[in-house]
């Protein structure tokens, strides 16, 4: 990560397409400017991050007014429980400071005046970082995480800290300590996890762009279940220190947004890659379908939406290449859970000590919610999921490299730009359905239904992009995931721009939860 690298004016203009925005206004001279209508609050809430920053920079709307609209929306949507910390006054003061900076004629960063919600496992020095767990309720890290520093240096404002599955250790975001996060498309259902609060904030128009984190699906599952876009970058593309950890081999911060262009803006800011990103040509683009792994035993409605989306991509010119990934199920069983189950106890203890949390690992777990205590008991010596150091070294040094090599050979041999599949096996289940679910009349473990499809990409360190594929009956979102070769993040985002245009995204949720 190259912190504080601002885009040049030329790069910024290319990225946000200001010329197109200016043409859309139809402004010709002073009189037309005078006749331009003030942007309504509802229009502000629908702005993408790219468009919001452009309007703030151009003076079409003040940062304070935009921030006030988002804060008001957060208050109206309190029933969704997306935030743990929401410092309204601080956000508005930061927005006023952004307006003063613009008025001074100073150089502005590419995220100038943009409020961004941050998952509450990511360190922020000016507000608590709870990890969603009781023992850290009042913990204030001494410094911001590198990802937060990069966003602030680019002119962003931290909108608040979002709710999550406790200690990021699950896919529901049904947090027993801080309350369940609710899916804005159906408040009785989960938003996915662990980054459920960030996904809900973005989907419910509380912000256009947010910070999430993904060890095994925690960006991609909520993106799919909330009808938004999410990028889990190639592992290591963004610095992921200063985050409540699970495994340093898998942990990766990344963005949630409603548009792929906003994901690309985030990526350009964090990496310093400000080059123009154009939608790639779908005609002739090869997409891999490995049906024996990712398409087995799917929910019927989810399978229908997935197949309809694939047909649209094929009609747009994409070539669907049927080719399985050799030995994938075996390699995932050997690597994914053993590495996390081993690493989490060491990584958490190191985090607590490094950032001065004032609690030990044992104290952290003893104060955790009953479901988290139960999970961790299985991981400790004597537990049924305990992984010793000798076994761990075999997994890390032999099986994990084997998995990465299998993927490398797959991409090289097939020539596909990405593998495409449904992010989960099911639409969002009801809150509390976290042991098993019913698929086609068959009982399936919840962990399989939600975790099977997303596990391979993050275990192998690949970039994974989720976009909305459509909705099941009742309006529940369904997400498609595209996994590309390691390091192909910008190419994957360029593909995503084209995919998004073809599939059209998800409609906004009906705001029945507003107060």
Residues 6+ apart with CB under 8 A from 429: 189, 190, 437, 446, 449
Cis peptide before 187 (omega within 30 of 0): no
Would you state the pLDDT for residue 515?
Answer: 84
Neighbours of 448 (CB within 10 A): 16
| Catalytic status, residue 218 | yes
* Catalytic, out of 218, 240, 268, 498: 218
Spans of the chain, pLDDT less than 70: 1-36
Which domains, from first to last, does the chain contain?
A: 9-24+39-503 (3.90.1300.10)
Coil, helix or strand for 504? coil
Helices (H), 272-360: 291-294, 300-315, 328-354
Rounded distance, CA 299 to CA 122, Å? Answer: 34
Annotated active-site residue 268? The verdict is no
pTM of the complete model = 0.93
pLDDT tens-digit profile of 475-497? Answer: 999 999 999 999 999 999 999 99
Q: What is the pLDDT of residues 245-294, one digit of tens each?
A: 999 999 999 999 999 999 999 999 999 987 779 999 999 999 999 999 99
Give the residue from 126, 129, 109 showing the smallest Cα distance to 16.
109
d(CA 492, CA 279): 10
| Residue in 194, 268, 369, 488 annotated catalytic | 194
Asked if 161 and 118 count as a contact pair (C-beta separation under 8 A), the reply is yes
pLDDT for the residue numbered 112: 98
Residues 481/423, Cβ–Cβ less than 8 Å: yes
**Backbone φ/ψ region at 418: left (φ over 0), alpha (ψ -120 to 50), beta:** beta
Q: Angle at Cα 464 formed by Cα 463 and Cα 465, nearest 5°?
A: 125
Is residue 485 classed exposed, middle or buried when 0-12, 13-18 and 19+ CB atoms within 10 A define those classes?
buried
Backbone φ and ψ for 238, nearest 5 degrees, come out as -110, 145
* pLDDT at residue 36 in the model: 52
Closest residue by Cα to residue 496 from 463, 465, 461 = 465
3-state secondary structure 80-149: HCCEEECCHHHHHHHHHHHHHHHHCCCCCCCCCCCEEEEECCECCCCCCCCCCCHHHCCCCCCCCCHHHH
Can you give the pLDDT at residue 15? 44
Active site residue 19: no
Is the Cβ–Cβ distance between 211 and 117 less than 8 Å?
yes
pLDDT of residue 37: 73
Q: Which of 48, 55, 119, 369 is catalytic?
A: 119
Three-class SS of 413-445: HHCCCEEEEECCCCCCCECCCCCEEEECCEEEE
Can you give the length of the chain in residues? 515
- Which residues, in sequence order, are CB contacts of 368 under 8 Å at separation 6+? 133, 134, 135, 166, 167, 177, 376
């Amino acid at each position: 990560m190259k912190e504080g690298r601002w885009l040049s004016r030329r790069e910024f203009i290319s990225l946000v397409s200001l010329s197109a925005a200016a043409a859309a206004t139809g402004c010709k001279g002073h009189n037309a400017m005078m006749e331009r209508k003030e942007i309504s609050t509802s229009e502000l809430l629908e702005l993408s991050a790219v468009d919001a920053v452009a309007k703030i920079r151009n003076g079409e709307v003040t940062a304070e007014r935009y921030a006030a609209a988002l804060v008001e929306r957060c208050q109206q949507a309190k029933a969704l429980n997306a935030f743990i910390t929401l410092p309204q006054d601080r956000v508005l003061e930061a927005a006023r400071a952004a307006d003063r900076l613009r008025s001074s004629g100073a150089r502005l960063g590419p995220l100038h005046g943009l409020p961004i919600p941050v998952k509450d496992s990511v360190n922020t020095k000016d507000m608590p970082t709870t990890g969603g767990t009781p023992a850290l309720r009042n913990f204030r890290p001494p410094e911001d995480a590198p990802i937060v520093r990069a966003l602030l240096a680019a002119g962003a404002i931290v909108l608040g800290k979002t709710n999550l599955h406790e200690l990021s250790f699950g896919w529901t975001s049904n947090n027993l300590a801080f309350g369940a996060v609710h899916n804005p498309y159906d408040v009785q259902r989960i938003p996915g996890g662990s980054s459920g609060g960030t996904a809900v904030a973005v989907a419910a128009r509380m912000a256009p762009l947010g910070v999430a984190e993904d060890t095994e699906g925690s960006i991609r599952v909520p993106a799919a279940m909330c009808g938004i876009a999410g990028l889990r970058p190639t592992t290591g593309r963004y610095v992921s220190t200063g985050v409540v950890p699970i495994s340093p081999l898998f942990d990766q911060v990344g963005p949630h947004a409603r548009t792929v262009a906003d994901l690309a803006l985030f990526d350009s800011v964090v990496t310093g890659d400000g080059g123009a990103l154009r939608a790639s040509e779908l005609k002739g683009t090869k997409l891999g379908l490995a049906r024996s792994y990712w398409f087995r035993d799917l929910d019927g409605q989810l399978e229908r939406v997935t197949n309809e989306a694939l047909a649209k991509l094929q009609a747009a010119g994409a070539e669907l290449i049927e080719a399985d990934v050799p030995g994938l199920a075996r390699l995932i069983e050997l690597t994914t859970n053993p590495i996390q189950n081993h690493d989490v106890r060491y990584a958490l203890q190191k985090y607590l000590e490094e950032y001065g949390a004032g609690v030990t690992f044992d104290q952290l777990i003893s104060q955790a919610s009953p479901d988290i205590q139960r999970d961790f008991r299985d991981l400790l010596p004597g537990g049924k999921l305990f992984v010793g150091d000798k076994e761990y070294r075999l997994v890390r040094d032999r099986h994990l490299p084997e998995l990465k090599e299998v993927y490398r050979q797959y991409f090289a041999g097939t020539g596909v730009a990405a593998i495409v599949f449904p992010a989960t096996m099911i639409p969002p289940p009801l809150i509390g359905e976290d042991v098993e679910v019913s698929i086609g009349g068959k009982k399936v473990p919840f962990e399989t239904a939600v975790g099977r499809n997303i596990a391979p990409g993050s275990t192998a360190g690949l970039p994974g992009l989720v976009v909305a594929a459509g909705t099941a009956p009742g309006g529940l979102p369904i997400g498609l995931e595209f996994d590309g070769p390691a390091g192909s993040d910008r190419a994957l985002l360029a593909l995503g721009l084209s995919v998004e245009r073809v599939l059209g995204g998800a409609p906004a949720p009906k705001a029945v939860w507003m107060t």
